[in-house]
Structure 1
Amino acid sequence: MRSSGLDLVKWTAILTMVADHLRYLWPAADGLFIVGRLAYPLFCLAIAANVARAQSIQARYLGWMLAFAVLSEGPYRWLDPGTQTFSVIPTLALGLLVAWGVRNAQVWARLAGLVAALVGALYSQHLMYGLPGVLLPAGWLMARQLGGLTWLLPCLLAMAGNLTNSWLRGHLLAPVTLLTMAAALLAIPVGCLILRIERWRVPAVRRWGYLFYPVHLLVIKVLM
């Protein structure tokens, strides 16, 4: 059964992501960068919720993510030629594998999760949000399962993922850095609250959500 709360999490992630990317059209709208810091933790929450609900590992889920990681790379680099990282999807795909490794006791699932974490560590500088971003879906999963102090894990990972940005890391006390950290931290309780909303009926985010990512990048580039 579909979860209205989960679809609402996905819609919020999509809308905040688009708001962030609109800075390419309106560079002066610096505040959109702060809004955009909600997007990645919410996408990771969606992954964690799907992994927690699944009865078995869904190879098709990973397959779609890998396919659109390849399809998205061209539009992503066309929009931002100076980028030093891949698009966000490879980070999410590795995060999915790590979350599966945490969720499933099978040896091969644990091994796949370990390999994904190692890849995240080795290539952290080339991944958007780096190793913390790879670990964040598993952090969400563990916090929702164990509760208590484990809720510090997704909070810390969400903030650490943003500090892979060299400018933010070099200006830790700058207002934009402090606001970025606050937004990343706020994404955790906000995500929890949204996920619990089941009374609001919103359109389901199905496989078109994968296609939306490269298409919206192309649209923004064309409008620049």
Structure 2
Amino acid sequence: MHGTETIPVRRVRDGALDLLKWLALLCMVLDHLRYVGLSLDGLYVPGRLAFPWFCLAIAANLHRVSRVPVTGQWRYLGWLLLFSVISEVPYRLFIDDADTLNVLPTLALGLLVARGWQQKALVDRGLALIALVVAGVFSAQLMFGFFGVVLPLAMLVVFRRPWYFSILPGLVCVAANQWQILLSSGTPVALMGLATCLIAPLAGLVLLRHAGQVSPPAMRRWAYALYPAHFLLLLLLRKIIA
């Protein structure tokens, strides 16, 4: 054995990023509790944190690209696409009048767009362009639409910039959340929802920058299964309540 050889060391997990993912998952579940048959409209407000924080998690993973093999990024995309398909049936069973696909196709396209901006290789730029075209053509069929696909890129662009740059992804998040309908509604819940969309990127960035000492359970690949599973569990809860 040569003296220069070293023992491989596992990459230290980012506890703040795991916390962000858990909080995003919690906010998503709270949002979907509005559909179990109880009067829980106020949960719409914390629910507006879920999608931007999942987009921020994508940006955070891409930001660490120099320490992550390219093959790992393709696996990331593969898991998103796989569970996009797996989750569609549970999603439609729970959301009876769903007029969009589940959220994972939006996140997968958003990953391609943000990755294309970052990597600059021809294949990555080409896939990003295709993703943008798909998002533009099928915006009505995608949850959070075209701006939802652009949001991970907006998060990545401001990831290491001063806090006030978070207004950019904040505005993109507002655009992704049917701001015209919310604004015209004028209800306190709608207006608080809009405000939450605007500040969600800043809140997530603050968490990532200042919660480095936390160590929640690691959110690994098994966590993808939580997305379709939570629809089935909430569907069961709705049947029990009914």
Judge same fold: TM > 0.5, yes or no. Answer: yes
Name the residue aligned to 2:177.
Answer: 162
Q: Give the structure 2 partner of residue 182 of structure 1.
A: 195
Offset from partner CA, 1:130-184 (integer Å, 9 cap, x none): 01100000000001145576433201111111117x8436x25333321111111
Are 1:28 and 2:43 an aligned pair?
A: no
What does residue 133 of structure 2 align with? 118
**What is the CA distance between 1:209 and its match in structure 2?**
1.4
Give the drift of 1:217: 0.3
Percent of paired sites with the same residue: 44
Superposed, 1:66-105 pairs within 5 Å as 66-105=81-120
Distance 1:112 1:145, change over 3 A: farther
RMSD, aligned α-carbons: 1.7
Aligned residues of 2:52 and 2:200 also touching (Cα < 8 A): yes
Between the aligned partners of 1:212 and 1:154, the Cα distance in structure 2 is 26
User: What is the aligned partner in structure 1 of residue 221 from structure 2?
Assistant: 207
Cα contact 1:44–1:137 (8 A) shared by 2: yes
Contact 1:49 1:141 in 2 (8 A): yes
SS at match of 2:158: helix
Partner SS for 2:143: coil
Per-residue deviation, residues 28-82 of structure 1 (Å, max 9, x unmatched): 1111111100000000000000011123541111001000000000000000121
Asked whether 1:131 is paired with 2:146, we answer: yes
Tell me the number of residue pairs that the alignment of Structure 1 and Structure 2 aligns: 222
Structure 1 or 2, whichever has the larger Rg, is: 2
* Structure 1 unpaired stretches of 5+: none
The yes-or-no answer on 1:191 pairing with 2:197 is no
Distance (whole Å) between structure 1 residues aligned to residue 128 and residue 234 of structure 2: 35
TM-score w.r.t. length of structure 2: 0.87
Confirm whether residue 142 of structure 1 aligns to residue 193 of structure 2.
no
Contact 1:130 1:161 (8 Å CA) reproduced: yes
- Using the alignment, how far apart are the partners of 1:114 and 1:194 within structure 2? 31
Query: How many Å separate the matches in 1 of 2:166 and 2:33?
Result: 31
How many angstroms apart in 1 are the aligned matches of 2:29 and 2:199?
18
Aligned letter for 1:151?
Answer: S
CA contact (8 A) 2:163 2:202 kept: no
- Counterpart-to-counterpart distance in 2, 1:19 and 1:82: 19
Correspondence for 1:12: 23
